[in-house]
Structure formats: C-alpha cells, structure tokens
Structure 1
C-alpha cells in the first residue's frame, strides 16, 4: 500500500449524531477505505449547534466560541483514528473536513460550515482542506450536494442504471445512468432523518427512532401526509438543496396546526405522526427517483437512514423493487460521506475539480476548498 496516498475524511452531518472519520487510500486514483471511527458529539455541543441553526441572541459570540471548539473535537477524532490503526500523522497527505453546517441558503448566495480548519491543521500536524461548498456557490451553484461526483467515481456501472440515495439529516439522490452519454443528476429531495429525530426527541426524549420501530407502531395519517407533501420544495425543479432552515421542529408544528384546524380530521397519536413523517421521507425520495424514468434502476442506500428498517420497507414498496445498502457495492453506508470528503481533499491537492456543474448548477467544474497547510 502506498502510504503517500493516505487521506482522512471528516464528516459531521445535519443529523448531529456523530463525528465520522475515515482513513482512505487511493490506489490508481480509486478510493479504498482503510479504517474508520465514529465518536458521539457531546450533548452540550449538539445543543449549541441547534441553537445556532436558528436565529437567536448572541449568535456571533456562540459561533465564535463553537468554531475552534469543534475544530479541537474534529482534530482529536482524527488523532484517535490514527492511533487506533497505528498510523503516524506524517504519512497522511491531508484531512478533508466537511465542517458542521450552521446555515445553508444558496438562494441568498451563502452557506456556512464551522469547525476551524486552522485548529485541525495545528493540532494534527496534517494539511487540512475545508470550506468545499462556497467556491461552487461563487460559481452560481447550490454548493450542494457534492457527493454525487464521488458516487459516480465509486458506484457507476456501465451495465446497469443505478440510484444512490443518501439519507442523512437531509436526503439526496444521485442518478447514475449506465450510458456514458447521459449526465449524472443529483439533488436534495427533502428531509431524511431530521424530522424523525426532531419529533422523537420532543415526544420521547430519544435521539433517533431505532429501526423505525416507533413509526412502525403507528399509522400513516392521510390528511397530515397530504399537508406535509404540499410543501413547495418537493415540486421545485433541480438543481436544489435544502437544510434545517426549512425542515425543522417549527415546520412540523405549522403543518400539524394546519391539519388539526379541520375539525373533521380523525385523531392521531404521536406514533402516527412519526409514521407519517417517515412516509414524507419515503414519498419525497420515491417521487424524485420516479420522475426521471430510469429503466429498472438498482437502488442503493447510504447514510444513517440505511438502518431504519421501516423507512426502507416503505421505499421498497413505493419503488416496487428491493432497495439495498451500498455495502453490497463494497462501501459500508455509514462511511460513504466521510470517504467523499477524503476524496474531495485528494482532488483538491491534485488540482482536480470536485463538483458536477450539472448537479449543483454552477457555471462549470471548479477545484473546491481552502488549503490550510500543516
């Protein structure tokens, strides 16, 4: 193995469930997962991030405190990974850090991810590449999703049409036509786990719905589902991307209030609402995939949603095909996004583009990210 090709990918997503770190090698330019580590975000840090995700008092001070603190957490996670696999930091070319998204408003021309890369580079002694999204935005794109380029690199097949569905806090799809004459399409379909996690945290004090068991115990409420699916985002044309700015606890309450204002509606339990929120994720993903009329595509799932059995069952039902995880393609679903940011760092240091203009809507392909030398 060529140790000069070691890269670290660092991911902390919208779900706020963990910091995921991977060690990746690039034999012949193809990513190969060498090792991985996941560590929980401390609860007080998670609360501060959620506080920053919505407007409030003293935002600049909270952000200024949290930015270097997250940088330290990210750096320590990288060092713990290297220690786990007895790898000296000196043989790692770079860390690719996604950062923690605080705002994503591409229609206003900005996105913000924190977790100071200066701190990461200083504490690890490893060159760090970060702030991948804003160059794409500067070129007129959405800045997201960026993973479709990596999906194409890893999962494209010349023999079969494929769709990669990443279900994190938000959900995004990448359509990979078998024909090289057809373009790759990718965009955020809407909420992934974010509404499910929010509702179960509010009602049961849990961080997520394990296996979708709570949702499976309820019934899908037709009128509420119709209200949820009336959200204009679902029918907007791509390129498009979204985040907690739209899909959040307040959004759930607004939709509930609209539905409950009709006195003729049948009553619903908290579990019914969880089931219906799960159906929103399943239906919005399904609607997006079917709208492209790919012939008999294979469907592969990655991200935290790949562990939600109830959600996967709903997807299989609506798509009329069995969905599988990316594990069968050689990359565990928990590590796909972190690997993507290791790959993006690899691309940046090799002066290669990291975005797909047809996905993000940018004026062209761009080399992404700022480089913070060790």
Structure 2
C-alpha cells in the first residue's frame, strides 16, 4: 500500500510529509521509503498558531479557524507529496495534525486535542485519510504518546544490547526497545521547544531558532540556572509520562530566568542545550541503554549533539539515517505506519510504552472520494512484531 504520513510537531516549524510503500510479509512490516518533503505553513498561519498555544488564551472562533487553515495546509502538503513522491498513486494519507493542547493532571493524560480537519485532505487528494490518532490510546488509559514507539519497537527489535531510539523534536522522547522489563517509552523533557522559545524571547522576535546551534556553542553553561531547571518536578515522574508546551513555554522560561539579572543569550542557550542533553542522558543510563539512535530536527544542531555525546560518555550515538530512516522524516514515516495498521484493523500501540491498558486500533477514518480504504483483516489477525526498512 502506498501511504503518505503527515506530521507537524511541537516546534510548529513546518509540515513533514513522507511517502512509503508498506506491506506485511511473514509477520514483518516492510517499509520502503519513497522520499519526504517539508511544506511550510502559508502566510501568517505559524504566527497565529503560536499565538494560540498554551499558556495563551484563545477563543472557539480561533479554534475553528485554525482547524480549517491547518486542514488546508495539510491537504496542500499531501497533494504535493502525492504528486512529487508517489506519482499520483497514493492510496492512504495519515495525518497527525497539530497538537493544540495535551491535558494532563497528576501525571495522567485526560485528553488531547489535535487540529487539522481531515476532510480537506480527503477532498484534495481523493484518498482515504486516517487522523486523530492519539485520543483512542488516551481513552484506553494511555498517555497518547509517544506513538512513534510502535515503530521503534518493531524496527529495533533484535539489535544487540539495549538500543534506545531518541527523537529530538520540540520535546525529546525515548523508546527503550529491549531490556529486562520489556519496551518502555516516554518524554524526557524539552528539546527544541525551549531553545526556539529562548531565541524568540531574547531577540525580541527577530529570530526563531539558533541556526546550527551557533549561539549555544559560543556560550557557557550557567550552573545556577541549570540547577534550577533540573529541579523541575516533571523529571521525577515515573514513566510513561508525556509533556509539551502546556509546561515548557515562554512563561516557564521567564520564571526560570527570574532573579539572574541579564544573562547573555549565548549562555542561556548553552544552558538549555545542556539541560536537554543531561535529561536525555539520565534517561538512557537509567534504562541501561547501550546505543542511541537519534532522529528529529535536533540532530541538525551540532551543539546539542556534541553536548549529548559528552553527557552519554561511552554510549554511542548514531542517527536513524544510518539505519535507513531519514532522521528529519522519521515521525512522518511512523504515522504512515500507524495509519496503515489502522485501515487493516490492527492495533498500533505498545501498552508498556504509552501506559494504556491494552493495545488499540488508532484514529478516525475519513473515506476518500475515489480511493476507498482497503478491507480490514479478519478479526484476531496476527499483529506484525518487526519492521524492516527496504
């Protein structure tokens, strides 16, 4: 089946689209990447989106408008991917949408909201669309994240030692694919979300990211600030746990910086970079990880990757590119896989990774205009437990 996966993450920087041919052979999912592309948000959509995210107040009119505009942007990205990557022969589109709110209380996730109306995608491409993938896992008692853990567990199963998949997006998350107590996944803490926020705050909005980690590389870690940041109670919560902009946002950063006077921007960014490296390394060591396979936009930040290497000591770090999955598009490929399982009637979660009571079939299905979804498999059909990148 030819599938397009769409992903817009916590950084809100663009829509990632990845296309793949997917098939199941003898209990193994075979994923053949067809390519990926970045689709920028049109006009002022990114600015409007950032303005509506926590802790900002918003209105139902804003929510309706963003749901429509995001749906149209996702539809445009899917149309480009179908034309450029699939030769117009895509059969299924899987859309993560854009998370606007992840409702957590006392370590439990009570609800989650992703916007990006799938009807626009179905109308633009004619394809069946799977969307709204996280709420079913939440309804089953899970965190609704990290859903990429399903791909990680299948993909890294059988590698020697205890491999750890690391995603450095807006939020950093890990999947421990092996070990004494089975697979485990959770958000370790902030990655690009605080770094990008700091750049916007410290430059008065003139820039929105630290290109190539240049500012962080020129700074010095401010030990008292790092100590204050590491005292965040989130880091002591037992896994599985998830977080997002509801916690790590501009107001959080301002509170953390309060009382330190004027710190050079370079030192603030060096300290935030060290925070991500330290919290990731603590999680990897705590799981007994023997290798780290990294993906996400953070892998393009030399300062962050260098800090991570120092914090991990002798644990080798490689990118997912080395194992056949482009690091920039890995999450989009993961959602392509999850939607593929959905239309086959197969569950797409690992309960020990999300904290759910059981594994569930994810998402809602919007039928396509001229490409109906395939018939689900027979009830009780075997769920594939491995993934091979062709």
* TM-score, normalization by structure 2: 0.88
Match in the other structure for 1:25: 21
Contact 1:30-1:154 within 8 A present in 2 as well: no
Match in the other structure for 1:298: 291
Match in the other structure for 2:367: 373
- Alignment equivalent of 2:307, drawn from 314, 329, 349: 314
Residue 114 of structure 2 aligns to a residue whose secondary structure is strand
The structural deviation recorded for 1:40 is 1.6
* Worse overlay, 326-335 or 48-57: 48-57
Match in the other structure for 2:238: 237
Residue 109 of structure 1 aligns to a residue whose secondary structure is strand
Match in the other structure for 2:349: 355
Match in the other structure for 1:227: 228
* 1:168-213 C-alpha deviation (Å, 9 max, x unpaired): 0000001122x6x741111000101001011112223222112211
In structure 2, distance between residues paired with 1:8 and 1:357:
25
Match in the other structure for 1:92: 90
Change (3 A) 1:343 1:86: closer
Change (3 A) 1:175 1:55: closer
Residue 345 of structure 2 aligns to a residue whose secondary structure is coil
Aligned counterparts, 1:112-151, within 5 A:
112-151=113-152
Residue 172 of structure 2 aligns to a residue whose secondary structure is strand
Change (3 A) 1:57 1:15: closer
The structural deviation recorded for 1:346 is 0.4
Residue 85 of structure 1 aligns to a residue whose secondary structure is helix
Aligned counterparts, 1:104-119, within 5 A:
104-107=102-105, 109-119=110-120
In structure 1, distance between residues paired with 2:43 and 2:280:
30
Change (3 A) 1:256 1:57: closer
Contact 2:36-2:85 within 8 A present in 1 as well: no
For structure 1, which runs of at least 5 residues remain unmatched after alignment?
Answer: 261-266
The structural deviation recorded for 1:55 is 5.0
In terms of fraction of residues, the more helix-rich structure is 1
* 1:74-114 C-alpha deviation (Å, 9 max, x unpaired): 111111122223612xx422111000000011435110000
* Worse overlay, 279-288 or 52-61: 52-61
In structure 1, distance between residues paired with 2:57 and 2:288:
47
* TM-score, normalization by structure 1: 0.92
Match in the other structure for 2:184: 185
Change (3 A) 1:311 1:55: closer
Contact 2:34-2:86 within 8 A present in 1 as well: no
Match in the other structure for 2:194: 195
The structural deviation recorded for 1:57 is 5.2
The structural deviation recorded for 1:160 is 3.3
Match in the other structure for 1:263: none
Residue 207 of structure 1 aligns to a residue whose secondary structure is coil
Aligned counterparts, 1:30-69, within 5 A:
30-42=30-42, 44-54=44-54, 56=56, 58-69=58-69
Match in the other structure for 1:268: 263
Residue 99 of structure 1 aligns to a residue whose secondary structure is strand
- Alignment equivalent of 1:341, drawn from 335, 344, 350: 335
Residue 258 of structure 2 aligns to a residue whose secondary structure is helix
* 1:250-272 C-alpha deviation (Å, 9 max, x unpaired): 11110111555xxxxxx631110
Contact 2:35-2:85 within 8 A present in 1 as well: yes
RMSD over equivalenced CA pairs, Å: 1.6
1:103 corresponds to 2:101: yes
In structure 2, distance between residues paired with 1:183 and 1:48:
42
Structure 1's consecutive aligned runs of 4 or more residues displaced over 3 angstroms after TM superposition are 55-58
* 1:30-71 C-alpha deviation (Å, 9 max, x unpaired): 222112111222351111111221255552111101111111
* Worse overlay, 28-37 or 326-335: 28-37
- Alignment equivalent of 1:16, drawn from 6, 12, 15: 12
